[in-house]
Amino acid sequence: MPAQASLYRPQDIPVAKNAELGPKAIGGQCRVLVGEQYGHRSPVPSPVEGGLVYLHIQLPTDTSTTLTIPADFQGFVYVMQGTAAVEGTVVEERHTAVLSNSKKECQLSVAYTNGGSDKGEVQMIVCAGKPQQAGKMIKLLGNGGAVFATSEEEVRAIMARYEANPKNFGTVSGLAESNNKSSI
């Protein structure tokens, strides 16, 4: 299947703010990049079967919120800035908390906590989805990283594209910023 990319403007992505996140989240916001949360649904389709929740959450000092994670989803919370409490466990800046698979929908509590480097807010990415059964994966090491694909032919073609133009590998070119949504 050929790769496909879509471009969405920032204003196309729904943002839940303040009381929508709960009574203890005044000043906070949640960008719903993929999936659904707080009654907001992203226009970006899930790239995987079974759905995906991909959120960017910002919480100021002394705030917290509760997220709904669908049944059978696994994922992680990555703290980009500040320190967070995820289900009571302290997760420091640039660290990740792994979310285990639950057989029922769960409520995930996240909060700002002052972990010594007070930046006035915590920013985190929450990503969760159904585990995927991809089948056989081929890994090719080189150029300080790795490329994964489902066949040796495909992984070698990807590596050849990278080696031909490493500076622009993985970028989407030819999309006009004035477009609301474009597909390539």
pLDDT of residue 169: 75
Per-residue pLDDT at 113 exceeds 80: no
> Between the ranges 78-82, 146-150, 175-179, where is the mean pLDDT highest?
78-82
Is pTM, for the whole model, over 0.85? no
Per-residue pLDDT at 139 exceeds 80: no
DSSP state letter for 26: T
Mean pLDDT, the chain, integer: 81
Per-residue pLDDT at 17 exceeds 90: yes
Tokens standing for residue 161: 């594209």
Backbone torsions φ then ψ of 115, nearest 5 degrees:
-95, 25
Concatenating the DSSP letter of every residue in 109-158 gives EEEEE--SS--SEEEEEEEEE--------EEEEETTEEEEESSHHHHHHH
The Cα-based distances of 28 to 2, 16, 19, 104 in angstroms read 38, 8, 8, 27
pLDDT of residue 178: 40
> Between the ranges 22-26, 54-58, 168-172, where is the mean pLDDT highest?
54-58
Per-residue pLDDT at 123 exceeds 90: yes
Which domains are delineated in the chain? 10-129 (2.60.120.10), 138-168 (no CATH)
CB 60 within 8 A of CB 17: no
Each residue's pLDDT tens digit, 65-111: 999 998 889 999 999 998 888 988 889 999 999 988 777 787 888 88
Q: Looking only at Cα atoms, what is the longest distance across the chain? A: 53
Tokens standing for residue 5: 């990319």
Per-residue pLDDT at 28 exceeds 50: yes
